[in-house]
Structure 1
Amino acid sequence: MSGPAVHLYRFEGDWRASGHTLLVLLSRYVPSEPDEIRLRRTDKGKPYVEDSDIFFNLSHTVNLTVVAIAQGVEVGVDVEAMEARVDPLAIASRFFHPAERAALAALESAAQLDLFFRIWVRKEAFVKGVGGGLSMGLDKFRVYPDCAGIEPWSIADIEVGSGYAAALAVKEPRFEIQWRQFGCGRI
């Protein structure tokens, strides 16, 4: 193995059920029943499992939820439905690093949209992993074409289906992704 294992779960359906599903998934990693697992929040608001070295993160968008779970290493995950109604250049001018803005501006509109979402989910996954929130200055670090200012974190694009962009951030230079996919009611 080239680093710690990060287990990814992808499921479709109503995101409001994801809270219970998360507890069921976490019960596979901690010696507790789902209703016995105690979730707490850091001072920055990032959730964690009390008295455990299990780290997790959850993201949901239109009809899709992705959960990342790892032992002993912090993780962040983000998934977004790629909607054409966003203005990539306007949002990038506020939140993207100058190198990312330049790369985006050099593309035609369809390619711009794809790259915009790829950069956005990478930034969100990192911010969620760190627990910093959007106020941490998304334009101060770079996730495209390479990463700068996020060390010791690393980021990977993850494929979750057509029409979606998703990324995983891990506080390790190398890691192994292990997918665990299931549908509604099949955990």
Structure 2
Amino acid sequence: MNRPPVPLIVVARLDGPSFAAAVTRHAEWATPSEQARAAGFVDPGDRFRHLAAHWLARRAVGRYVGVPAHRVRLCHDEAGRPLAVVGGADGSSTPRTCVSLSHSGDWAAVAVVEAARVGIDVEVNSLRSPSALHAVSRRFHPEEQAALAGLGTPRRTRDILRLWTLKEAYAKALGTGLSPFPGARDRLGLDGCAFRLDTPHPELTSLSPPAVPAERWHFWTLPLGPRLTGALAVGRADLSPARTGPSAGAVRRRGKGGEPCRPERTLDRRAHAALRWAP
């Protein structure tokens, strides 16, 4: 079947009954490595959120490729980036689909796409104080620090979160992870790249070291409402942004248990306009 030419993004709260049911029977669907990782959490809440987020990832991949979630298996590539393999009823498997997963508090976000590098990050805004965010921003790239310096506190706090999530999403897509320390060698440091936010979509303006993968990179901040900040990074060689239009959405925000939020809180039309691509 033909895959949609846009990433599928699902953002959900993890405290609903469908997630509780999935976690209860996680031995039926979680891989041995996922079960081992879950068993290593001391806090039961952390264990629950880890398993619930991985079940959400399976549901997202299943929706993307049109199969039940239990037929989706998560693995990783050589750089540690998540991949999904979808098994057929006859034991065959599809080409691997790229997946990115993020969770913060009781919220999780998943991005799914084929033939592209993808990274997603979501943050619950209230989990970090403005003073803590401003302290972190002192480790950002000098270009970003200069842009933040002239802003009032509310706008500066918002833009710090936007920059942070963009860096996290980009580092996930690269497969390096993000280091909180400047000058990191084996991971992308907070000062290792710079983004501009005063353009229609965020632009990567600086990267150190200067070697950049060949893919064309596209970045978005996701419209997730006042409580959440999210970002998406996608790298693909043969795609460019298309003219936008009010067609079916690529981003879906879910309430408790993955149920749809009220219509006025869905993001389909606006998010699709931001993420639509042309081949």
TM interval, short-chain normalised: 0.7 to 0.9
Q: Aligned residue for 2:195?
A: 143
Alignment of 1:42-81 (within 5 A): 42-50=77-85, 52-81=95-124
CA distance in 1, matches of 2:106, 2:130: 18
Amino acid at match of 1:137: G
Alignment of 1:107-126 (within 5 A): 107-126=151-170
Q: 196, 216, 227: which is aligned to 1:163? A: 227
CA radius of gyration, larger in: 2
Amino acid at match of 2:102: S
SS in 2 for 1:49: strand
Q: CA deviation at 1:19?
A: 1.3
RMSD of Structure 2 on Structure 1 (CA): 2.5
**Aligned in 2, Cα 1:7/1:185: closer, same or farther, shift over 3 Å?**
closer
CA distance in 1, matches of 2:219, 2:66: 29
Amino acid at match of 2:146: A
SS in 1 for 2:116: coil
Q: Please tell me whether the aligned partners of residues 155 and 168 of structure 1 are also in contact (alpha carbons under 8 angstroms).
A: yes
CA distance in 1, matches of 2:165, 2:258: 27
- Please say which of residues 71-80 and 171-180 is displaced more in the overlay: 171-180
- Please say which of residues 126-135 and 168-177 is displaced more in the overlay: 168-177
TM-score by length of 1: 0.84
SS in 2 for 1:147: strand
SS in 1 for 2:196: coil
**Aligned in 2, Cα 1:45/1:86: closer, same or farther, shift over 3 Å?**
farther
- Please say which of residues 64-73 and 31-40 is displaced more in the overlay: 31-40
Q: CA deviation at 1:111?
A: 1.8
The share of aligned pairs that are identical, in percent, is: 29
Q: CA deviation at 1:30?
A: 4.1
Amino acid at match of 1:174: P
- Please say which of residues 60-69 and 136-145 is displaced more in the overlay: 136-145
Establish whether residue 88 from structure 1 lines up as the match of residue 123 from structure 2. no
SS in 2 for 1:27: helix
1:48-83 CA distance string (max 9 Å, x none): 124524211111112221111112222111111223
CA distance in 2, matches of 1:116, 1:170: 21
Q: CA deviation at 1:18?
A: 1.8
CA distance in 2, matches of 1:92, 1:53: 36
Q: Aligned residue for 1:35?
A: 70
1:110-148 CA distance string (max 9 Å, x none): 221111001101111111111111222331221124312
Unaligned runs of 5+ residues in structure 1 are: none
Q: Please tell me whether the aligned partners of residues 41 and 48 of structure 1 are also in contact (alpha carbons under 8 angstroms).
A: yes
Q: Please tell me whether the aligned partners of residues 8 and 60 of structure 2 are also in contact (alpha carbons under 8 angstroms).
A: no
